[in-house]
Amino acid sequence: MSQFELPELEFAPDAIEPYIDKETMTIHHDKHHQTYITNLNAALDKHPELKDQSLTDLVSHLEHVPEDIRTAVRNNGGGHYNHSLFWKILIPGGAHEPSGSLREAIDSQLGGFEAFKEAFTAAATGQFGSGWAWLSLDTQNRLKVVNTPNQDSPLMDGETPLLGIDVWEHAYYLKYQNRRPEYIKNFFSVINWDFVSDVYEKVRNKAVQ
C-alpha cells in the first residue's frame, strides 16, 4: 500500500528569483508541503483500505472518506494536491502569455487575457485569509476564475484546476510581507503556460471523446 511522498521540484529553489526567493521556495516545499503529506499519511493509517486510492480520487470524493478523518484528508490531501500542482505551474523564464486553444478560450470565454488577469488578480487579492485563486474548467468545460479558502480546490466541486496561486502567507511573507498584490503581480512572470495549456488540452479532449 502506497504512502504519499513529496515530489521533487523541477527547478532549483533559486531559479525563479527575484519573483519568489530561494528561502521561501525551500521552506514552502521542504517544510510546509511535507507537513501536509505527513499528516495525510497519518490520517490514512487509520483507514488502510483508502491507501490504494489516488490523491485525485480522495480529494474529489470527500463524501466517501470516513467522517473521522474527512477533515484531515480535506485539509492535508487538499494541501498535497494543490502544492503538487503549484510546483508544476512555476517555471523560470517561461512564456508570459498562453497560446493556442487555451488562449482562444480565454479570449472568447473570459474577455481576453488582460480581463482574465484582472479577474484572477481580484480573486487572489480578495481571498480573505489563507487560500488560493484558480483558473479552472467547470463541469460544462468552460473556463472560470474562482478562489477557495484554506486548502480547498475546484476539484472538490467536480471541476478541474488549470492554474492556481497560493495566497497563504507562507507562500510570500518572507519577501513581500503584507504586499500580497505585489506577489500576485510577479506570479504572472513565472507561470508555466505550456503546462497549463497541456492540462487544458487533455481535459478538453477527454470531454469530447
Residue 187 to residue 165: CA distance in whole angstroms = 8
- Cβ neighbours, 10 Å, residue 119: 17
For residue 145, the SS3 value is strand
Residue 36 to residue 38: CA distance in whole angstroms = 6
166 annotated as a binding-site residue: yes
156-172: b (≥16 Cβ within 10 Å) or e: beebbbbbbbbbbeebb
28 annotated as a binding-site residue: yes
Q: Which residues are CB-contacts of 60 (< 8 A; sequence separation ≥ 6)?
A: 155, 156, 158
Here the cell at position 99 is 497560446
> Which of 177, 176, 196, 195 has the alpha carbon at shortest distance from 18?
176
152 annotated as a binding-site residue: no
What residues does 6 pair with on adjacent strands?
Answer: none
83 annotated as a binding-site residue: yes
β-strand pairing of 160-166 with 131-137: antiparallel
User: Binding site: residue ranges?
Assistant: 28, 83, 166, 170
User: Binding site for Mn(2+): residue ranges?
Assistant: 28, 83, 166, 170
